[in-house]
Chain A
Amino acid sequence: DAGVTQSPTHLIKTRGQQVTLRCSPKSGHDTVSWYQQALGQGPQFIFQYYEEEERQRGNFPDRFSGHQFPNYSSELNVNALLLGDSALYLCASSLDGVWMNTEAFFGQGTRLTVV
């Protein structure tokens, strides 16, 4: 089992550009969550996808959007990039039904640098 895989591992973008990050969940997992981790800080929850719908959202602007595909993989899109969007973006997968949840498995992250 490959676990949670994220691509790309590193990315450099210019202010104002758009970026798409990708995540493949651990086999058997149906829920994907995205987190942003600034240097020296704990990860901050962006949003969670379940059954191809956004189920929970953190305190992030609409410039951050996502998608989940029928095979449970997911994308995170960020529009109009700002310097402050430079961070490590982490994807986590889990098996979270309506009345239960399981431990989350994290990928290694995508390091985004905005210049």
Chain B
Amino acid sequence: DAKTTQPNSMESNEEEPVHLPCNHSTISGTDYIHWYRQLPSQGPEYVIHGLTSNVNNRMASLAIAEDRKSSTLILHRATLRDAAVYYCILRGYTGANSKLTFGKGITLSVRP
């Protein structure tokens, strides 16, 4: 399985933007970049995914490097509810390659 590398932790102030980096130097051409987050005492929650182009949705933005070897999840205005573990995951596009391989993720703390 292609691997991702994330910092262990990051701190942010409430209402400020947050940039969460992820390195995936061994990504293959058919791997999508997925982000999930896990709030305390809850199951993981889908955040966003992309292949080559930058992506935006109501929760966040995903910026993908041109060579696809790194990406950044952007939370435009952090709230206390965004404090969670964020996982960057590479996932195949077919049903047979759809398992999610979680690492340790990055723990985001948000200061009021």
Q: What residues of chain A have their CB less than 8 Å away from a CB belonging to chain B?
A: 4, 31, 33, 35, 41-45, 48, 50, 55-56, 58, 90, 92, 94, 96-101, 103-109
Nearest 8 pairs of A and B residues by beta carbon: A106-B43, A42-B102, A96-B95, A101-B98, A103-B46, A45-B99, A96-B98, A43-B102
Contacting residue for B95 out of A4, A43, A100, CB 8 A: A100
Point out which of B34, B94, B99 has the most chain A C-beta atoms below 10 A from its C-beta. B99
Interface size class of B (residues with CB under 8 A): 20 to 34
A33 vs B103: C-alpha distance in the bound complex, in angstroms?
A: 17
11 A-B pairs within 8 Å (CB atoms) are namely: A33-B99, A35-B102, A45-B101, A56-B96, A90-B44, A97-B95, A100-B93, A101-B92, A103-B49, A104-B46, A105-B46
Residues on A with C-beta less than 8 A from B85 are 42
Residues on B with C-beta less than 8 A from A44 are 102
With A45-B100, A48-B99 known as contacts, the answer to whether A106 contacts B94 (CB < 8 A) is no
In chain B, residues 11-58, which have Cβ atoms closer than 8 Å to a Cβ of chain A?
A: 34, 36, 42-46, 49
A56 vs B97: C-alpha distance in the bound complex, in angstroms?
A: 8
Point out which of A4, A42, A99 has the most chain B C-beta atoms below 10 A from its C-beta. A42
0/1 per residue, B69-87, Cβ < 8 Å to A?
Answer: 0000000000000000101
A90 vs B44: C-alpha distance in the bound complex, in angstroms?
A: 9
Residues on B with C-beta less than 8 A from A90 are 43-44
Q: Are B98 and A94 in contact (CB under 8 A)?
A: yes
With A105-B46, A107-B43 known as contacts, the answer to whether A41 contacts B104 (CB < 8 A) is yes
Residues on B with C-beta less than 8 A from A92 are 43-44, 100
With A33-B99, A56-B99 known as contacts, the answer to whether A98 contacts B46 (CB < 8 A) is no
Residues on A with C-beta less than 8 A from B36 are 104
User: B65: shortest Cβ distance to chain A, in Å?
Assistant: 22
Q: Are A100 and B94 in contact (CB under 8 A)?
A: yes
User: B36: shortest Cβ distance to chain A, in Å?
Assistant: 8
In this assembly, does B68 line the interface, its C-beta being within 8 Å of a C-beta of chain A?
Answer: no
